[in-house]
């Protein structure tokens, strides 16, 4: 169990507000919409089959192609990292041979790792899909 699991509703909303800057009322509205939908299967870490891993990779990629999201994950060295990232074309640098990560074909070679544009660092970063602990899309709020 991590610290987020032990938060009250209000603490969770405040945490999301601090992380995203979205108004708490908007986050409450998103949460109500999300809770009224059919629950999605929860696959975490090493419980994921290859098919589930590919599904999550595609899902994260699809969201990030349309917006900026906050992703929390465990780095390979064990450190926790929170990153604001996207795959929106308007934020990405032009593809060049000098920067292989700018080429979509190169970024999509490994479906266990998602390469994204870190909007704060203004550079390419990546994370292992299995190691994602939180994915907060700017348009869907908390999930």
- Series of mean pLDDT values for 10-residue runs along the chain (143 residues): 56 73 74 55 60 87 92 92 94 73 62 91 92 82 42
Q: Could you give the CA distance from residue 114 to residue 53 in angstroms, rounded to a whole number?
A: 11
3-state secondary structure of 15: helix
Tokens of 15: 């945490």
Predicted TM-score (pTM) of the model is 0.60
CB-side exposure of 78: number of CA atoms within 13 Å? 0
pLDDT of residue 46: 58
pLDDT of residue 8: 74
Per-domain residue ranges of the chain: 3-137
Element (H, E) at 70: strand 68-74
pLDDT of residue 110: 76
pLDDT of residue 111: 81
Cβ–Cβ contacts within 10 Å for residue 71, how many?
24
């Amino acid at each position: 169990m991590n610290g987020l699991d032990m938060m009250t509703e209000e603490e969770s909303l405040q945490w999301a507000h601090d992380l995203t800057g979205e108004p708490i009322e908007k986050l409450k509205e998103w949460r109500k919409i999300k809770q009224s939908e059919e629950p999605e299967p929860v696959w975490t870490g090493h419980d994921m089959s290859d098919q589930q891993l590919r599904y999550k990779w595609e899902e994260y990629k699809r969201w990030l192609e349309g917006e900026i999201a906050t992703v929390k994950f465990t780095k390979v060295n064990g450190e926790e990292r929170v990153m604001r990232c996207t795959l929106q074309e308007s934020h990405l640098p032009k593809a060049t041979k000098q920067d292989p990560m700018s080429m979509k074909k190169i970024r999509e070679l490994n479906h266990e790792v998602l390469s994204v544009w870190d909007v704060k660092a203004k550079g390419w970063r990546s994370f292992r899909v299995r190691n994602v602990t939180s994915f907060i899309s700017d348009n869907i709020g908390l999930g």
